[in-house]
Amino acid sequence: MDSLTHIAIGACIGEAFFEKGFGKKAMLWGALAQSIPDIDFITNLWMKTPEALLAHRGFTHSILFAFLIIPIFALLAEKIHRPHNISFKNWLLFFGVAVFVHLFLDAFNNYGIGWFEPLSHQRFSFNVIYVADPFFSFFPILALAILLYKHRLDPMRTFWWKLGLYFPLIYLSYTVINKIKINEVVEQNLSIRKLPFNRYLTTPAPLQNWLWYVVIESDLGYQIGYYSLFDQSSKIQLHYFPKNHALAINLDNDESYQKLVRFSHHYYTLEMQNGQHIFNDLRFGQTFGWQNPSGNFVFHYILTKPQENAMIIQRGRFSNWNKSQMIYFFKRVFGRSNLRLK
């Protein structure tokens, strides 16, 4: 999830635990506890991009880190707020819920999270919700704004923290149902069209949960397409991309390349552009891929020019969006797949 959503959910958790008069201090603690796993962003200050990609949502998003940081927060809060009638057990429970909710939510988008770092480098990603989904975030952020405004003893505070927590939970459950439906459509296509495949990936296109991005892997390449839950046909329009992994013949000992492969969960292609080796991580989709099936991939790393790879995960994601593009996108979301941009 994005940082603002984590802050809002953490504040609502704080209000839920200490709604009877503890004031807005609990909201602050909740926001801090929800945000602390993302402290790994500072690794960008000294790490090279491939290392920083793996460091993010690595150890600070692990269960081990949670068990280390939760008692530290509890001890700090217990000491700062003396005298009080809150047991240390309740402090631990509060911070435990706040931190583990962060780790739970981050596993639902496509970046991946290292729950078992440093014992295991396996990344978990359920690919259920886009990292910034306004339909998920709206009510927690609204609840945060209203709770900050209202008096700490206002009886309506209970309604707002419940709205800020229950609605995202309901929406998240809805996205899981959508994921199941999309996977059923993909498997139907694989069966009816007898497509060779090793595995497939489905994840939402930006900012919503109805248009989904589909990647089907075979031995030599990937079939990639987009499918909306509102599409009238169950057939997914697919476009083929070769893996081109043979281009890595001189990269087997390249540490950056190996880290990128691990980060991509092996969903990647290689290509040559203007004499440069380009690494594409397919999990993050394409620039306007729902309109241009052969569009560039959002995540592309120039292996031969590592200094030009800052902020690569969303490279060009929204830079060329305009009114016409937005109209096309939202029409495509709602099943209008035969449109042409004017």
pLDDT, position 96: 97
State the alpha helices, DSSP H only, in the chain: 3-17, 25-35, 49-55, 63-80, 88-106, 134-149, 157-192, 255-263, 323-333
The whole-angstrom separation of Cα 102 and Cα 159 is: 22
The candidate with the shortest Cα–Cα distance to 11, out of 30, 38, 36, is 30
pLDDT, position 153: 82
Q: Give residues with Cβ within 8 angstroms of 186, minimum separation 6.
A: 200, 202, 214, 216, 227, 236
Chain length of the chain: 342
Q: Give residues with Cβ within 8 angstroms of 97, minimum separation 6.
A: 13, 17
> How confident is the prediction along the chain (342 residues), in pLDDT tens digits per residue?
899 999 999 999 999 998 766 778 999 999 999 999 999 988 878 888 889 899 999 999 999 999 999 999 999 999 998 878 889 999 999 999 999 999 999 999 999 999 999 999 999 999 999 999 999 999 999 999 999 999 888 889 999 999 999 999 999 999 999 999 999 999 999 999 999 999 999 999 999 999 999 999 999 999 999 999 999 999 999 999 999 999 988 777 788 899 999 999 999 999 988 888 899 999 999 988 898 898 889 988 888 776 666 655 555 566 678 888 888 999 999 987 554 443
Look-up: residue for tokens 């790879």?
309
Q: Give residues with Cβ within 8 angstroms of 248, minimum separation 6.
A: 257, 270
Cα dist from 283 to 45, 50, 68, 265, 274, whole Å: 25, 16, 31, 9, 24
The candidate with the shortest Cα–Cα distance to 129, out of 103, 102, 111, is 111
pLDDT, position 273: 84
pLDDT, position 302: 86
Other beta carbons less than 10 A from residue 250's beta carbon? 9
Q: Give residues with Cβ within 8 angstroms of 308, minimum separation 6.
A: 302
The whole-model pTM stands at 0.91
pLDDT, position 311: 55
pLDDT, position 306: 67
The whole-angstrom separation of Cα 40 and Cα 74 is: 21
